[in-house]
Amino acid sequence: MTKKSLRAAALLLCVLTLSMACACGTKFVGEEQAKKSGLALLRQAFGVTAKDAHVEYFERAGTSVVDNTEMKPGENAQIYIVTISDQSIGADLYYAEVDAVTGVAYYATKNEFLLAPVSSQAVSNSESNLTDEQENPSLQNDCAKDAACDFVMRRFQKEVALISPQGCCRWNGGHASQASIGYFVTFADGSLYRVGFSWPEMDLNKIQVLGAEPKGERP
């Protein structure tokens, strides 16, 4: 084989190797699809009507997306972060995370400044009931659970098969008298969500998709 033929064969081998590497590499959905998915979840959870958002790719070590299980050493969760900001206050109003590989938006939250204000009577009641040392059993009462169930049914337009309390804790933000109460929600279609509400006003402040839901775009 001549030198020219050897060079041609070597070049062809390099091209094939690069092609195989690209084909086998991880493919991401891209920023536009991530933005679409993130905005869809924010719209579903919080009624957001914005058409645009900032998107940023991010790798996070420690836990995987969706189920928060520990990842293997050396592995990173690959996500897109979707945010809607208010430049006048220099803060993100809404925040969502999207799996960079599948394009599934699985987590969303909103700034505490957007939460419903706490009435003076609610402040008095919550401060008398909450303690810094332990969870407050009164937050797990049927009234709060029923309110959470009714809210998610209206917001997500799906029947709830099971709702169970996750727990609560004192709010760490600017609303000292406000707490957060969480629930695991299993819908009739089999999808599993974890939702968080500000208490005592029961305003949805975060959502995490823990289980698969039927294919199709969110409403």
What number is the average pLDDT over the span 61-75? 67
- pTM equals 0.72
pLDDT (tens digit, 9 = 90+) per residue, 135-175? 454 445 678 888 889 999 998 888 999 998 886 655 545 54
What number is the average pLDDT over the span 214-219? 46
Percent of the chain whose predicted confidence (pLDDT) is above 70: 63
pLDDT (tens digit, 9 = 90+) per residue, 180-194? 889 999 999 999 999
Counting Cβ atoms within 10 Å, is residue 171 exposed (0-12), middle (13-18) or buried (19+)?
Answer: buried
Query: Could you tell me the domains of the chain?
Result: 26-113 (3.10.450), 115-219 (3.10.450)
Predicted local confidence at residue 69, as pLDDT: 62
Q: What confidence tier does 37 reach under pLDDT thresholds 50, 70, 90?
A: very high
Q: How far is CA 153 from CA 3, 105, 126, 158, in A?
A: 72, 19, 26, 5
Closest CA to 107 of 172, 202, 34, 200: 34
Q: How far is residue 146's CA from residue 15's CA, in Å, rounded to a whole number?
A: 62
Task: Report the chain's mean pLDDT, rounded to a whole number.
Answer: 76
* β-strands 203-209, 105-110 pairing: antiparallel
pLDDT (tens digit, 9 = 90+) per residue, 1-33? 554 554 555 454 544 444 444 444 678 999 999
Structure tokens at 112: 């505490």
In the sheet that holds 91-99, the strands lie side by side as 54-61, 76-86, 91-99, 105-110, 203-209, 192-199, 179-187, 160-170
Q: What confidence tier does 211 reach under pLDDT thresholds 50, 70, 90?
A: confident
